[in-house]
Chains A and B, each alone.
Chain A
Amino acid sequence: MRLLRLFQKPFFGIISLFFLVAFATSLVCISAVDSQLSKEYTENSEGLARSIADSSVDILLNRDLSTLQALIDKSLDIQGISYIYITNENREILAHTFVPFVPDEVLQGIEELFQIDPSSPVHRPLNLSGIGDFLEVSFPILRSEAGRVQILMDQDNISLKIQNAIGQQVIWMAIILTVGFFLVLILVNLTYNPIRETLNYATGLARGESMEDPKIQTLLERKDETGDLARLFQYFASVRDPDKTGRLPGKKEE
């Protein structure tokens, strides 16, 4: 299948435009998914941290820590939440979900959480060496008088979701591009055929050949621009040599 020279530039222009649109859409998608997911995860985590903090007051004051542990273990089922730990007012970790041990970065960062703002939620990035990047959401228990609840959300999880979203988008774009490419070729060829016939007809006329081919008759009967062009060539030829023009459009030979 050969592409008509006439259509080559517009065709490659369309392809370039397509890639530009795909790239721009991906960027917008990355930005939207990233901000939306981050916002959603943060809000969910803060809501969960608030809920655990509210529940923890009673448990910390009146009950066994195994109940507190059971509470946070159950919360780990929520997507995107990697670790939860609860500290008391003395900065001791009373319950956590780390295996095989609490990372040093977590232990070293506890004091800072109490210093930043004892009465408000704190959000901060946290890198745990050998484990990954996390967003830490910390919520006070009784204005930090009874401790704080911390939830670590996996940033890699958000990145993975973005990658998945972009990957899906790229796959769909590639499918659309492939289908579109073949569709354009088919359409171009549909256009190209009557032009070629018109060209052949004009060339034949120029050479003074007899034009009795049934295809020529079909061409001369077309209602579009190629039909008009063919009839125009026929008219010019008839002016020059009335015997070799075939018949005029709409007139049957007797």
Chain B
Amino acid sequence: MKTNKNQPSLTRASRRTVMKGVLAGSLLTPFGLVHLRAQDSQMSNSSPLTSASHTQGISDNEIVLGTSAAFTGPSRGLGIELYRGAMAYFQHVNENGGVHGRKIVLKLYDDTYNADPAVENTMKLMLEDQVFALFGYVGTPTVTRVLPLLKKFQEQEFVLFFPFTGAQPQRQPPYGPFAFNLRASYRQETAGLVDNFVGIGRKKIGVFYQADAYGRSGWAGVREALSKHHLKIVGEVTYKRGEKFTNSYEAQVERLNRDKPEAVICIGAYAACAGFLRDAVDGDLKVPIANLSFVGSENLLKLIVDSQEDPGEYSRYLVNSQVVPSYEDLSLAGIAQYDDFMQKFNPGLPPQWADSDYKTFDRSFVSLEGFINARLMTEILQRIGPEPTRGKIEEAVFTIDNLDLGIGEMVSFNEARRQGLDKVYYTIVDRDKNVFVPLREGEWSKVF
């Protein structure tokens, strides 16, 4: 039986005490737990991981990664599609023998895109399930609250890989050292949108944002980008996290109409942003309406297409930034592989929520991001070697230098760089096919 210097030092009793302390005051919400094998649907036999050889989420047969994301609620499309994309690649890896003979297993919890359940789930993943690493979290308000836990238990060397958020807290001190990001940041996305709008003469920019850490992060990005052009946000309106498409956003539109913006940047999730687009066009706020990658572009478009007689009249104003290339661009090897694996494996919903009425997408920007995340995660696990410990993670990640994931941009990490990709892409809706297509440089002025 192996022992390890990184074995958790907390006793079970003290862990319980710490959990109680940290979770004091938190709402206990129902959570779902699934324990998935990529190759088959049997429950893992490695839980709970009690023996020394099973510490750190590693057994002879498995590497267990822990995820807390939205699998139910108004933002479930984000968690589900990110999971499906990742599973498409992990299933391929597991079918081909895994990583150093170990299959990659995801342990999933639902946080409904809310901070308190996310904290609770993370405590369970770290202290009870003792996963090897955290992977594929969704959302800024959730991740922002989870980061202090990583610092609190830093002696156990947990690392958060590739959260689906472009916010700053996991990109800068004091929590930067506890996470690795792959996607470009919201600052980069908002700066790109602002620069392009200003470039075509649309200098009066309004903001519609979620009233939380995510919205604030995007708002700050827009503000900062505008200040470089000596401009300010002309009007801003908010909505509460979790609001639905069917809610009214007329108050926000009315307020923005007062400020007469020439473009609006939305920092929100798909349900609210789709509702805002609907009410904006209906309320005569007919200006380009931009969304960040987090929005879940396909989910947003589906709500518009399903609810409007003439969806093109609404989608014509959309311009969404993305942090991965278009899944239509099959000339890129990584995209072609994604397209191939999504068709081949066609991952379903997480088993725990398999009876959900959620309709999956064949392809989407979110699942593509999940796929790329999984591909890089697999590469990192390969580089850690056949005897993985959490202590080896950082060293392995820093060996990645100009790694080609087949998406047209090389990935590098080092001490000063904990974010793999920087490129931001822009997409508009092809109104005949109702799909997002690339909007290339120089085309902005023609479209808007």
Interface string of A81-110 (1 = CB under 8 A from B): 000000000000001111111100000000
The number of chain A residues with a CB under 8 A from chain B is 20
The one of B25, B213, B236, B251 in contact with A69, judged by C-beta atoms closer than 8 angstroms, is B213
In the complex, the answer to whether A70 meets B213 with C-beta atoms within 8 Å is: yes
In the complex, what distance in Å separates the CA atom of A206 from the CA atom of B213? 96
Q: Does A115 contact B (CB under 8 A)?
A: no
A65-B216, A70-B213 in contact; A101/B238 too (CB < 8 A)?
A: yes
Q: Is A213 interfacial (CB-CB < 8 Å)?
A: no
A63 within 8 A of partner (CB) = yes
- Of the four ranges (under 10, 10 to 19, 20 to 34, 35 or more), the interface on chain B belongs to 20 to 34
Given A62-B173, A100-B251, A100-B252, also A67-B238 (CB < 8 A): no
B216 close to A69 (CB less than 8 A): yes
Closest-CB distance, B177 to chain A (whole angstroms): 14
Contact in complex: A66, B168 (CB < 8 Å):
yes
Is B172's CB under 8 angstroms from A64's CB?
Answer: yes
Are A100 and B213 within 8 A (Cβ)?
A: no
| CA gap between A67 and B240 in the complex, in Å | 17
Known: A98-B211, A100-B255. A65 touches B220 (CB 8 A): yes
Min distance, Cβ B298 to any Cβ of chain A, angstroms: 26
User: A63–B217 Cα gap in the complex (Å)?
Assistant: 11
Determine whether the beta carbon of B237 is less than 8 Å from that of A66: no
A67 and B213: CB pair below 8 A? yes
Whole-angstrom distance from the CB of B211 to the nearest CB of chain A?
5
In whole angstroms, what is the CA distance A99 to B173 when docked?
A: 30
Taking each of B167, B239, B240, B249, which has the highest tally of chain A beta carbons within 10 Å of its own beta carbon? Answer: B167
| Chain B window 179-222, contacts with chain A (Cβ cutoff 8 Å), 1 for yes, 0 for no | 00000000000000000000000000000000111111101100
- Complex: how many Å from CA A64 to CA B144? 11
B140 to chain A, nearest CB (A): 6
* Residue in chain A with minimal CB distance to B238: A99
Complex contacts, B239 vs chain A, CB 8 Å: 99-100
**Inter-subunit contact A101/B172 (CB<8 Å):** no
By a CB distance below 8 angstroms, the chain B residues around A62 are 173
Asked if B163 lies at the interface with its beta carbon under 8 angstroms from chain A, I say no
Bound-state Cα–Cα, A114 to B153, Å: 41
* B169 lies within 8 A of chain A by Cβ: yes
A99 adjacent to B168 (CB under 8 Å): no
Tell which of A68, A74, A77, A101 touches B216, judged by Cβ atoms closer than 8 Å: A68
Q: Is A73 an interface residue (CB 8 A)?
A: yes
- The interface residues of chain B lying within 8 Å CB-to-CB of A70 are 115, 141, 144-145, 169, 212-213
Q: Which residues in B have some Cβ–Cβ distance to A below 8 Å?
A: 25, 115, 140-141, 144-145, 167-169, 172-173, 211-217, 219-220, 236-240, 249, 251-252, 255
Q: List the 6 closest pairs (A to B, CB-CB), nearest first.
A: A64-B168, A69-B216, A66-B217, A66-B213, A70-B213, A65-B220
What is the interface of chain A, defined by CB distance below 8 A to chain B?
62-70, 73-74, 77, 95-102
- Give 20 pairs: A residue, B residue, CB < 8 Å, sorted on A: A63-B169, A63-B173, A64-B169, A64-B217, A65-B220, A66-B168, A67-B144, A67-B169, A67-B213, A70-B212, A73-B141, A74-B115, A77-B25, A96-B211, A98-B211, A99-B211, A100-B239, A100-B249, A101-B236, A101-B237
